[in-house]
Amino acid sequence: MHDIEPYYRWRDYYVASEDKLSPFYGREYSELQYTDKIYNYYIHPQWDFFGSPTMYIKLLFVDYEDGYAIMEFIGEWNDCITNDIMFLKRDIADVLIEQGIYKFILICDNVLNFHGSDDCYYEEWWDDIKEQGGWVGLVNTFDHVSQEMKRTRLQYYVNFGIQFNDVDWHNKLPEMVFQEVSNRLSLGQRYLE
């Protein structure tokens, strides 16, 4: 896991540690020292800790004008034991919502497992953004991760599944990724109103 680096090709457009409105503003990173671990495995030092001992994040891009953010994750999403969604909602999403971000793309290529608990924080997130036409889209989740999310009833509050699992986002600009996910939502993903 130590050689899985967060996506870096958008750094010419956005760097969370340099954005005064970002929850990661002012963070400094080492290129040589590996200190953070998920279980017994060191992870690349560019990943950001946000409260979860089993999952790390990278805020890849934020567009305040169009109101969206793109985040990448690595590790095990564990709401059952470590309440990862609480940290994600309180310490990341709420900070961004205060700045006018209502559309969230969560890139899950490196989320290896999901352990659900309940859907309360997801429902709260949905309630906080629906009036502004907001949404949360999880891109490229593994099938077993999607199945566990469905068992936890997250499909009523966040968008994920087969229609979002083949997004080739690495070779696109952030606005192109946003447009693609938006288009996929409008082509058939249902919302709660």
CA distance 62 to 70: 6
CB contact at 8 A, 47 and 36: yes
Residue 114 confidence (pLDDT) above 80? yes
Condensed to tens digits (0 to 9), the pLDDT of residues 44-68 reads 999 999 999 999 999 999 999 999 9
What's the pLDDT score for residue 2? 73
**pTM score, whole prediction:** 0.94
Section 128-135 average pLDDT: 97
- Top-level CATH class of 16-185? alpha beta
Question: pLDDT tens across 132-149, in order?
Answer: 999 999 999 999 999 999
What's the N-to-C CA distance of the chain in angstroms? 40
CA of residue 58 relative to chain centroid, distance = 8
* CA angle (40 as vertex; 51, 83 as ends), nearest 5: 30
